[in-house]
């Protein structure tokens, strides 16, 4: 596995300011708007297939009153994840992880794969992600990054796929963050860029971690965080952030 080459800009759930989040349409939009990588959220269906969905419930993005963990792959794959969005796009159904990887290859996009398990499915979700990556991740794409709010997911990923770099996600840099990141062998930390303080950013950097910030959609804010040491800006609007950052 090649070393991690973290890009400066990562499209959040694709380019979710412009297209329905976590859909193939959103990844096409991210590419069009200059993102070299995308972030997306993966979780398991009731029959153990990985699909892209942020929430535990299908309601917000598909209008269906059901939980992902209680719905089959076949049923979820029929759902339109873009009806709520406004404009309609090609490929706005709920995608699975494998077809997402195929599109990333076609577009030449790298990936920050956020393991976002349904409650109680932390280990199996991380293991399933590693299994798919080992089987089909294209060798001509950059090494993918695994990230999660859940230490259990990161520990399971470390166990089954130690060759994939990991980031801990902390909403705030507080409490035993160093110990938690170290325990899962994280090489970096993603944190909420609207909450993090300059001294916390400095502490993360001086502890030797790469630092990503989410979800930054305003150019001046992105530039300020970059100047304070952020290595990666995760954004719904990659074109906006791209035009605000020098080089
Ligand atoms: O991975 C960064 C960011 O996506 C974490 O928060 O809630 O948007 O998945 P969320
Ligand atoms: Mg996410």
What pLDDT is attached to residue 246? 79
Catalytic-residue membership of 194: no
CA nearest to 15, candidates 237, 245, 246: 237
What is the pLDDT at residue 247?
Answer: 66
Domain contains 3: no
- pLDDT number for residue 51: 98
- Indicate whether 86 pLDDT > 90: no
pLDDT tens-place string over residues 184-226:
999 999 999 999 999 999 999 999 999 999 999 999 999 999 9
Task: Kindly state the helix (H) or strand (E) to which residue 166 belongs, with its residue range.
Answer: strand 166-170
Per cent of the chain over pLDDT 70 is: 100
Percent of the chain with pLDDT over 90: 98
Domain containing 44 equals: 9-244
Mean pLDDT of 7-26: 98
pLDDT at 111: 99
Phi, psi of 15 (to 5 degrees): -125, 75
Extract the tokens encoding 155.
Answer: 């520990």
Q: Count of CB atoms within 10 A of residue 4's CB? A: 17
Largest CA distance in the chain: 48
**Cα-to-centroid distance, 214 and ligand 1 (Å):** 7
pLDDT at 196: 98
Looking at the domain assignment, is residue 129 inside a domain? yes
Of the listed ligands, the closest to the CA of 52 is 2
Q: What is the pLDDT of residues 113-127, one digit of tens each?
A: 999 999 999 999 999
The verdict on residue 44 lying in a domain is: yes
Q: Ligand 1: does its nearest atom lie under 6 Å from the Cβ of 190? A: yes
Q: Is the CB of 234 under 6 A from ligand 1?
A: yes
Question: What is the whole-number distance in angstroms between the Cα of residue 40 and the centre of ligand 2?
Answer: 5
Average pLDDT, the chain: 97
Region 74-87: what's the mean pLDDT?
94
Which band of pLDDT confidence, cut at 50, 70 and 90, is reported for residue 1? Answer: confident
The mean per-residue pLDDT over the stretch 15-33 comes to: 98
| Rounded (5°) CA angle 212-218-223 | 60
Tell me the mean pLDDT in the region 128-151. Answer: 98
Question: Residue 2 domain-assigned?
Answer: no
pTM of the model: 0.98
- Helix locations, the chain, DSSP H: 24-32, 59-62, 73-77, 97-107, 122-136, 151-160, 177-183, 198-206, 219-227, 238-244
CATH of the domain at 58: 3.20.20.190
The domain total for the chain is: 1
């Amino acid at each position: 596995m090649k070393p991690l080459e973290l890009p400066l800009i990562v499209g959040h759930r694709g380019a979710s300011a412009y297209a329905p989040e976590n859909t193939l349409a959103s990844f096409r939009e991210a590419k069009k708007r200059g993102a070299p990588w995308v972030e997306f959220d993966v979780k398991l269906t009731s029959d153990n297939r990985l699909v892209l969905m942020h929430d535990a419930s299908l309601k917000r993005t598909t209008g269906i009153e059901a939980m992902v963990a209680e719905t089959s792959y076949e049923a979820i794959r029929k759902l339109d994840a873009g009806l709520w969005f406004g404009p309609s796009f090609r490929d706005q159904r709920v995608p699975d992880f494998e077809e997402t990887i195929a599109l990333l290859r076609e577009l030449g996009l790298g990936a920050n794969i956020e393991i976002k398990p349904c409650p109680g499915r932390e280990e199996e979700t991380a293991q399933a992600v590693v299994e798919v990556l080992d089987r089909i991740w294209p060798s001509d794409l950059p090494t993918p990054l695994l990230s999660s709010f859940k230490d259990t997911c990161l520990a399971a990923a470390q166990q089954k796929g130690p060759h994939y770099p990991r980031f801990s996600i902390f909403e705030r840099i507080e409490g035993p963050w160093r110990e938690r990141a170290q325990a899962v062998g994280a090489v970096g930390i993603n944190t909420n860029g609207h909450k993090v303080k300059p001294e916390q950013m400095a502490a993360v950097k001086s502890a030797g971690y790469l630092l990503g910030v989410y979800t930054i959609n305003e150019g001046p804010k992105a530039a300020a965080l970059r100047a304070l040491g952020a290595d990666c800006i995760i954004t719904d609007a990659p074109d906006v952030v791209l035009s605000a950052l020098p080089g």
